């Protein structure tokens, strides 16, 4: 069963997808569904014997191109909708034990080209309002397949967090005629204490308002940069460079392959970048680690009240990350 | 940046990215896309290595 159920108290959609209970959960090492299918070997999700980057529709999707009608009846207060959309898996490399941080810079740049293509293609679908590209890395995050991969959800609505961001940016634009993200970036650059690394096109910071100890945001510089499709080849290269730098710093932090959630925030696809001059492309990272062995859990205050408590200072954590290799 | 300039930049990006996309459909009807990068694809690198070994 799969449907969207309206949460009237929070005014947001909840996706019900009971078929996902049966999804692959840590398969044995000799069965990796994201590996290439070798001649004479067991068939995986990817029939080819080799590949560079592969994207395919998730076998256990939360959202479906041909979504069934809801199995329950909605009411005026709690309406239901078909869970229309697309869920894709992006396999970064055929190398099962690699991580995004370990891929050569050129391969990361290729991945950015693929993300851009998927954003364009999925975003052009009339039923899709938002294309969300993300990666969950590590068992601590609940990842069920360790082969390096990310995911894309093409939602039929603008998800709550993105809606809040867009509305806040619009409010600032209406009040000042300025881009909120660029104004905050200007403030961060002037202060300097929370800047981790920067290049010509992007700046990485532990934001002033970080909710996780090692939360990092990579923000695009300049106006008219609200989506992947707004970047030139040089900017795509700069994005790959800063992405690899942050991921490498993360792995050098505790000498472990650091788990994280990486989420790409772009403008909604129910318009163009010209329709969202107040919004700015950025990538957010949420590593769960407070220390090498201690994790930050989303507990009562965070999950129940939406109020995050960060036991650390963004200024100190930024300095820590800044000092790690690669140092620019 | 005007709409025309934005469009020009977009076209320029699409023209210059050396990426090939091959769309296929799996047995169960799901789409699968192979993206390759001709100058540096895994297959191309292997072929180059084999040439060197000959």
Domain boundary among A117, A133, A155: A155
Does residue A175 form part of some domain? yes
The reported pLDDT for the residue numbered B39 is: 73
- How does pLDDT run across A280-305, given as a tens digit for each residue? 999 999 999 999 999 988 889 999 99
DSSP state of A304: I
Q: What is the mean pLDDT of chain A?
A: 95
> A146 — contact with chain B (CB < 8 Å)?
no
Domain boundary among A134, A155, A176: A155
Does residue A94 form part of some domain? yes
- Identify the closest residue of chain B to A95 by CA–CA distance: B42
* Residues paired with residue B22 on neighbouring β-strands, in sequence order: B34
Please judge whether B13 and A48 are an interchain contact, meaning their C-beta atoms are less than 8 angstroms apart.
no
Confidence of residue A315 (pLDDT cuts 50, 70, 90): very high
**Average pLDDT score over residue span A102-127:** 97
Minimal CA separation from A328 to chain B, in Å: 27
Burial group, residue A325, by CB count within 10 angstroms (0-12, 13-18, 19+): exposed
- How does pLDDT run across A60-100, given as a tens digit for each residue? 899 999 999 999 999 999 999 999 999 999 999 999 999 99
Same domain, residue pair A103 and A229: no
> B30 — contact with chain A (CB < 8 Å)?
yes
Residues with Cβ within 8 Å of A116's Cβ and at least 6 positions away in sequence, in order, are: A228, A229, A231, A236, B13
**Average pLDDT score over residue span A303-314:** 95
Distance CA A218, CA A203 (A): 6
Same domain, residue pair A132 and A150: yes
Domain boundary among A115, A137, A155: A155
The count of structural domains within chain A is 2
The reported pLDDT for the residue numbered A283 is: 98
Does residue B39 form part of some domain? yes
Same domain, residue pair A308 and A180: yes
The reported pLDDT for the residue numbered B4 is: 42
Does residue B32 form part of some domain? yes
Q: Give the domain range for residue A117.
A: 2-155
Kindly report the backbone phi and psi dihedral angles of residue A199, in degrees, each rounded to the nearest multiple of 5, phi listed first. -140, -170
**Average pLDDT score over residue span A299-327:** 95
- Identify the closest residue of chain A to B45 by CA–CA distance: A52
Place of tokens 């959202």: A63
- How does pLDDT run across A16-43, given as a tens digit for each residue? 987 655 666 666 767 899 999 999 888 9
- Identify the closest residue of chain B to A236 by CA–CA distance: B13
**Chain A interface, mutation test: which of B2, B23, B32, most A Cβ atoms within 10 Å?**
B32
Does residue B10 form part of some domain? no
Q: Give the domain range for residue B23.
A: 16-53
Does residue B8 form part of some domain? no
8 Å CB contact between A197 and A322: yes
Instruction: Report DSSP letters for A233-248, one per residue.
Output: HHHHHHHHHHHHHHHH
Sign of the Cα pseudo-torsion (A130, A133, A279, A310, in order): positive
**Chain B interface, mutation test: which of A44, A46, A47, A53, most B Cβ atoms within 10 Å?**
A53
Does residue A96 form part of some domain? yes
8 Å CB contact between A85 and A156: yes
Q: For residue A312, is pLDDT > 60?
A: yes
Same domain, residue pair A120 and A10: yes
Counting residues of chain A whose pLDDT is more than 90, the rounded percentage is 88
Same domain, residue pair A313 and A175: yes
Chain B hits for A56, CB-CB cut-off 8 Å, are 26, 30-33
Residues of A known to be catalytic: 149
Does residue B4 form part of some domain? no
Question: For position A14, which CATH number holds?
Answer: 3.30.428.10
- How does pLDDT run across B32-47, given as a tens digit for each residue? 999 999 876 665 555 5
Does residue A176 form part of some domain? yes
Q: In what order do the strands lie in the sheet with A80-81?
A: A12-17, A2-7, A80-81
Confidence of residue A220 (pLDDT cuts 50, 70, 90): very high
Same domain, residue pair A126 and A261: no
The count of structural domains within chain B is 1
Does residue A328 form part of some domain? no
């Amino acid at each position: 069963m799969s449907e969207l159920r309206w949460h009237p108290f929070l005014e947001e959609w909840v996706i019900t997808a009971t078929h996902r209970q049966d999804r692959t959960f840590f398969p044995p090492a000799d069965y990796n569904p994201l590996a290439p299918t070798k001649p004479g070997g067991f068939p995986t999700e990817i029939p080819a014997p080799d590949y560079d980057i592969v994207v395919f529709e998730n076998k256990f999707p939360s959202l479906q191109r041909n979504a069934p009608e809801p199995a329950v009846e909605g009411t005026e207060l709690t309406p239901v909708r078909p869970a229309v959309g697309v869920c894709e898996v992006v396999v970064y490399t055929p190398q099962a034990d690699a991580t995004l941080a370990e891929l050569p810079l050129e391969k990361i740049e290729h991945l950015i080209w693929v993300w851009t293509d998927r954003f364009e293609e999925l975003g052009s679908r009339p039923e899709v309002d938002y294309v969300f590209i993300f990666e969950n890395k590590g068992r601590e995050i609940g990842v069920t397949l360790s082969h390096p991969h990310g995911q894309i959800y093409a939602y039929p609505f603008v998800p709550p967090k993105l809606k809040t961001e867009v509305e806040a940016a619009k409010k600032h634009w209406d009040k000042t005629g300025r881009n909120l993200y660029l104004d905050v970036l200007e403030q961060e650059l002037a202060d300097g204490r929370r800047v981790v690394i920067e290049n010509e096109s992007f700046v990485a910071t532990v934001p002033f308002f970080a909710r996780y100890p090692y939360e990092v945001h990579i923000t695009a510089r300049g106006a008219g940069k609200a989506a992947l499709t707004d970047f030139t080849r040089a900017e795509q290269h700069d994005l790959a460079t800063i992405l690899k730098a942050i991921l490498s710093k993360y792995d050098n932090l505790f000498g472990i392959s650091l788990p994280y959630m990486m989420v790409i925030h772009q403008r909604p696809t129910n318009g163009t970048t010209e329709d969202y001059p107040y919004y700015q492309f950025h990538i957010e990272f949420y590593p769960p680690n407070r220390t090498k062995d201690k994790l930050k859990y989303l507990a009562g205050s965070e999950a129940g009240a939406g109020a995050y408590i960060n036991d650390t200072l963004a200024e100190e954590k930024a300095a820590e990350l800044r000092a790690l290799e690669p140092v620019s | 940046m005007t709409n025309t300039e934005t469009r020009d930049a977009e076209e320029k990006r699409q023209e210059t990215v050396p990426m090939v996309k091959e769309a296929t459909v799996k047995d169960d009807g799901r789409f699968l896309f192979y993206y390759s990068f001709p100058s540096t694809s895994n297959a191309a690198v292997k072929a180059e290595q084999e040439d060197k070994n000959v």
